[in-house]
Amino acid sequence: MDTNLQTFIEEIRKAYSNNTFKKLIVSKSVKKDSDIKRIFVKLVTIKKEEKFSFVFEYTTKNITKNFSIEEVENQLLNTLEIDFKNAVLYTQHNDIQLSYNKKMKAQLNYGKPTCTETISKEHNKLKHRIINIENNIYLRELGITNQANTVIQGMQSKYKQINKYIETIDAVIKDSELSKEKSINIVDMGSGKGYLTFATYDFLNNILKFNASVTGVEIRKELVNLCNNIAEKCNFKNLHFHTGDIKSFQIPKIDVLIALHACDTATDDAIYKGISLGASIIVVAPCCHKQIRKELNIHNELNLITKYGILEERMAETVTDTLRGLVLEFFGYKTQIFEFISDEHTHKNVIIVGVKKSIPKKEDKIIEKISNLKQMFGIKEFYLENALKNKIYN
């Protein structure tokens, strides 16, 4: 272990023992295209036991993991030198910085303390939510809050899901060219009861101050009527809902396409529509993956997995979404596939995000990857590939 790194870890131990530890921030990723931006560390008390809480801050989400003092050393060794080039320990007496130069040689610097804030050790404190419930008409009309402006029992999970989704939309827009625009057009394909559609409109227009036009498309007419009535009550003038399905609904212009929990190939129809219309952002959360599951015809060691139904289902999900990600990359989208919200809140928790970054390169390497993956799993037909065949192979 590098001497300066060893000293830095000892300083953390000392600050913990002396009760002078304030916080630790690890930053400056070694890889410029890394999804993880920084790590924020503080002390928390969980069941009367102190832990180091590591918040891994990614582009579109945060992941929190808690470690004992004994585990912190290994965690930092796995992080510094390899993933990050900078770390600052804030104590009552000093700021201690560990940094790496271009040759990855560690340097240690001591400075005057700059952290004067009191860092709460409370673990289960009320979290800040982006979508405010105070006098929120659509949350009340949709049955999430009551007249007293509190979240109704049994709707906490839905309210949390809405806010996590808005966090994702916020991060994705900031990572796109749309962040420079004043007016944007969003279409939510399969908008359902409109929970996320209303929140998207509210957030973009009233918090980010865009001039955003949002359209919800839903096959059930009664839900379309319900949502249009609520939009009118909210005075959301550029929010409209229409009856239709993802495949046949005609859209003249689109900047952001959203399709959450669209079943099976309806997700592919949404991706196809987004790519064909040149959407800057495509956000989909797939539901079932029946098309590829029926296609699986494996003639190698992987066929052992298909013996178990639940594992075959998960394999089909993984293969399908990997193929979708590759197609988006082929058409110039920076693509991420990540967990939308924890399993305790919803079973289907994978979200695919594509942000337009370049003119389609139509790289043969990506075509080869798609072909190899299909061959590995004995897949003859991939719905999205077939839909885009003329754009991919011409």
Please report whether residue 209 resides in a domain: yes
In a domain, 295, yes or no: yes
User: Do 96 and 160 fall into the same domain?
Assistant: no
Residue 22 sits in the same domain as residue 165: no
Same domain, 268 and 379: yes
The reply to whether 17 falls in a domain is yes
Domain that holds residue 190: 137-393
The top-scoring range by mean pLDDT among 74-88, 230-244, 350-364 is 230-244
* CATH assignment of the domain containing 305: 3.40.50.150
Same domain as 83, residue 28:
yes
Domain assignment present for residue 125? The answer is no
pLDDT value of residue 121: 54
Is there a domain that residue 123 lies in? no
Residue 281 has pLDDT above 90, yes or no: yes
Q: Are residues 98 and 172 in the same domain?
A: no
The number of distinct structural domains making up the chain is: 2
- In the prediction, which pLDDT does 240 show? 97
Does 101 lie in the same domain as 163? no
Q: Do residues 24 and 168 both lie within one domain?
A: no
> Quick one: 324 and 221 in the same domain?
yes
Asked whether residue 158 is domain-assigned, the answer is yes
266 and 387 in a single domain? The answer is yes
Exposed/middle/buried for 200, CB within 10 Å: 0-12, 13-18, 19+?
Answer: buried
Nearest-angstrom CA–CA distance, 272 and 274: 5
Given a cut of 80, whether residue 48 has pLDDT beyond it is no
Task: List strand residue ranges (DSSP E) for the chain, in order.
Answer: 21-29, 36-46, 49-58, 62-67, 84-91, 95-100, 106-111, 183-189, 211-218, 239-243, 256-260, 281-285, 333-339, 350-356
> By mean pLDDT, which of 222-231, 237-246, 279-288, 344-353 is the weakest?
344-353
Q: Which residue has the higher pLDDT, 46 or 383?
A: 383
**Is 328 among the domain residues?**
yes
Nearest-CA neighbor of 169 among 38, 334, 349, 351? Answer: 351
Q: Is residue 131 part of a domain?
A: no
